[in-house]
Amino acid sequence: MNWGNKLLLAFLVFGGGMIYLVVRSVKTNYELVEKDYYKSEIAYQQVIDGTNRANQLNSSVRLEQTATGILLSLPDEMRNEVISGNVWFYCSYDAKKDRKFSLGPDKEGKQLFSPVDIPAGNYTVKISWNKGGKNYFTEKMLTIV
């Protein structure tokens, strides 16, 4: 093989490699945490304040996987209170697994989520609630099998 053929082969390998990288980069899925992340960043001070309020409570939010589903238990101070809010099961590696629910605990401050509604995976569960005009926020890690 002479030097001209070697040079042509080198250009072909380089060009093929570049085409491969361009095709791979075009097919890569870049998911954002939220579609409107700028709007949520502006309101982030509410998350900080809510986290500080939740940390001052005597107990913390508990999440556990049971045979009947995912059991969310709010702190003891939230029993027999009127509470509104939402729960976001955020899956960082697959936005199709994300789930948002309205918070509607019973008198004991507990809410059960059906395992059918939430696919298996690793989640950051973001719980925000309001009691008496005060916002609370906490995050918990959860692995659903």
pLDDT tens track for 1-28: 899 899 999 999 999 999 999 999 998 8
Residue found by looking up tokens 């556990």 in the block: 64
Distance CA 89, CA 41 (A): 19
Domain identity same for 26 and 67:
no
Q: Average of pLDDT values for 94-119? A: 90
What's 138's domain CATH number? 2.60.40.10
pLDDT at 32: 65
Answer for the pair 136, 98: CB distance below 8 angstroms, yes or no.
Answer: no
Alpha helix locations (H) across 28-119?
37-42, 44-55
Its pTM stands at 0.74
Cα 81 from chain centre: 27
Number of structural domains found in the chain: 2
pLDDT in tens, 57-73: 998 999 999 889 999 99
Q: Amino acid letter at 14?
A: F
Q: Average of pLDDT values for 79-100? A: 89
Short-list 138, 144, 110, 145, CA closest to 49? 138
Domain identity same for 16 and 50:
no
pLDDT in tens, 31-43: 666 677 777 777 7
Q: Average of pLDDT values for 76-92? A: 90
Q: Which domain holds residue 116?
A: 42-144
Question: Is residue 35 a part of any domain in this protein?
Answer: no
Question: Is residue 36 a part of any domain in this protein?
Answer: no
